[in-house]
Structure 1
Amino acid sequence: MVAAAALALAWLIDSRFGEPRSAWHPVAWFGRIAAPLGRRVHSWAAPAAFAAGAVLWCSLVAAVAGAAFAVEQAAGAAPAWIAIPLLAAALKPTFAWRMLNDEVRAVEAALGQGLEQGQARVARLCSRDVTQLDAAAVRETAIETLAENFNDSLVAPLFWFLVAGLPGAWAWRAANTLDAMWGYRGPWEWAGKWAARADDVMGYVPARLAALLLWRPSVGVARLTREAPLTPSPNGGWPMAAMAFRIGVRLGKPGAYALNAQAPAPDAAALTNALTVGEGAARGAIAAALLLVVLKVNLW
């Protein structure tokens, strides 16, 4: 029951306080360690860059998972009144639902001040050229970010916590962070290839669970499975397509893909609806995770 109590407390901490400042955030510390290592190898010739990227990925993820294992073991040897807050404090940085919610909500507030303000705000959430986006496209981008990161920032760390405890949650967070830093084409093509593929593999099941939490049965499974693979990411399209169908809007990237293409572009009400749907799905994810943690403890 310690694990369930720690998970509940971690969720309460996230709901109440959100993210700590970067100077105190373990994920930020991890990024500051990983960044210079990646820069050393990304300009190497393809075979050497790929091998070095793979070795670095394995080393960094193993180090993070090992540190999480040590914390978990220490908690296991401590009384519950110490173990629960210790595990909660260690688990909380692996997910970031409140921050995601707040950032997406801020996009609509910024659009209320003007298109340029909305573009500047959504640029914090994506890597695409926002200067060419109109208000509808800004909202599309914000809703896509909410849906995709519902998986990356909540469902996937919960899934790996259920599979492998605190080390699993932190292995996912490290892998997803390395993909965000290295998993690009261009100069990072080979050094980041292992990170990108590892993220795809680790996120495969969670992305489909995230889509299930966002999905509504009236859409039909066939339609979801037909449109989800339209995105370049093998996983990102699942929660994004589920969200597009759930709130009845088109989501897409110009010149790349369109999900639920015949639906209208999102307006302000659609973005608000997406936030409401996301919040309900997040609560459902936490409730399911808590139930499964309790069942796991009772079974074993």
Structure 2
Amino acid sequence: MTVLLAAFLDGLLREPPARLHPVVGIGRLLAGLERFWRDDARAGAAAWAAGAVVVTGLAAVLGRWTLTLEAPWRLAATALLLWPAFSLRMLLEEVAAVEAALARDLDEARTRLARLVSRDTGSLDETGVRMAALETLAENLSDSLVAPMFYFVLFGLPGAWLYRYANTADATWGYRTPRYARWGRFAARADDLLNLLPARLAACLLGGGRDLAALRREAARTPSPNAGWPMAALALALGVRLEKAGVYALNPSGRDPVAGDVRAGLARVRAAGLWWLGLSAPLAWGVWGL
């Protein structure tokens, strides 16, 4: 089935080469759309919509092309087109690399972590590095795997790639900097809307459904309407405190994470990801015959 074949490609090859990666292409598209930049929310929304039409239109055309192929080749082609829209192996490896670097040198770990998070990592101590690594591990379970597969099950390739476009646009335009405060407003809101259900689903996959009251309480501590859900679920499951100084503290009565907690977090996210892939495969087969 398509999802299992795409998961096999992810496990075997990790990511396509950068020069061929569709997400890199989306980044170039977003850069091109910035030529129309104005300090205006409506202009930003129009640019976002134009990019969404290009990406989903291309995905729809390619999806229709796969329907012209014989069954085995149709599955293979669809899996190849779905594969770059999600990632589990790279997420696990990048977070594991932060912990491995931390065992050698704090500055090296800060540098590795800076590739994964938007915050300044230069002043983080060992505990701060582990907290940030666990937070991005949990949040990206939703962003990198649960959400794109969720939209693939619902809407096929156009759904998966619309999500990947929206998530990339938010990462590019959605930050609250002077340049993007108005231009990127729609991109940020679109990403929030698309992540509404996947973030909560990711939290349940991480074990957050065992105490919904505690999960809701902790998730509400973050400014984001979505990111707090998987992060809070992981914090509660591991019994650790996850904190972004001056912004939030999840499970504040928990202990500081240690190396074993990162390993446990990686194992939990790997298991949650595999469960989700295993569930998505028959769902996609039932909806799309793929």
For residues 208-287 of structure 1, what are the structure 2 equivalents within 5 Å?
208-216=200-208, 218=210, 220-287=211-278
Q: Name the CA distance, whole Å, in 2 between partners of 1:157 and 1:281.
A: 15
**1:95 equivalent in alignment to 2:86:** yes
Letter in 1 for 2:207: W
For residues 17-166 of structure 1, what are the structure 2 equivalents within 5 Å?
17-38=13-34, 40-41=36-37, 44-45=38-39, 49-166=40-157
Q: Deviations over 1:241-295 (max 9, x none)?
A: 0010111111120111011111111110000000000000001110111122233
Q: Name the CA distance, whole Å, in 1 between partners of 2:160 and 2:287.
A: 16
Q: Deviations over 1:128-184 (max 9, x none)?
A: 111111001101101100100000000000110011111000000000000000001
Q: Name the CA distance, whole Å, in 2 between partners of 1:65 and 1:209.
A: 24
**1:198 equivalent in alignment to 2:194:** no
Q: Name the CA distance, whole Å, in 2 between partners of 1:136 and 1:39.
A: 42
Q: Deviations over 1:204-233 (max 9, x none)?
A: 011110111002555x11010111121111
Q: Name the CA distance, whole Å, in 2 between partners of 1:90 and 1:179.
A: 22
1:297 to 1:40, Cα distance in 2 relative to 1, 3 A: closer
TM-score by length of 2: 0.96
Range with greater deviation from structure 2 (31-40 or 157-166) = 31-40
Specify the SS of the correspondent of 2:116: coil
Specify the SS of the correspondent of 1:130: coil
Letter in 2 for 1:22: A
CA shift, 1:61, in A, is 1.0
TM-score by length of 1: 0.93
CA shift, 1:39, in A, is 5.7
Specify the SS of the correspondent of 2:119: coil
Specify the SS of the correspondent of 2:16: coil
Instruction: Report % sequence identity.
Output: 44
Q: Name the CA distance, whole Å, in 2 between partners of 1:293 and 1:217.
A: 24
Q: Name the CA distance, whole Å, in 1 between partners of 2:31 and 2:236.
A: 38
Range with greater deviation from structure 2 (78-87 or 104-113) = 78-87
Specify the SS of the correspondent of 1:112: helix
Q: Name the CA distance, whole Å, in 2 between partners of 1:246 and 1:52.
A: 43
Q: Name the CA distance, whole Å, in 1 between partners of 2:176 and 2:74.
A: 43
Q: Name the CA distance, whole Å, in 1 between partners of 2:64 and 2:15.
A: 25
Specify the SS of the correspondent of 1:261: coil
For residues 157-176 of structure 1, what are the structure 2 equivalents within 5 Å?
157-176=148-167
User: Structure 1: where are the runs of 5+ without partners?
Assistant: none
Instruction: State whether residues 182 and 196 of structure 1, in contact with CA within 8 Å, keep that contact through their aligned partners in structure 2.
Output: yes
Letter in 2 for 1:95: F
Letter in 2 for 1:20: P
User: Structure 2: where are the runs of 5+ without partners?
Assistant: none
CA RMSD of aligned residues (A): 1.3
Specify the SS of the correspondent of 2:225: coil
Q: Name the CA distance, whole Å, in 1 between partners of 2:261 and 2:164.
A: 30
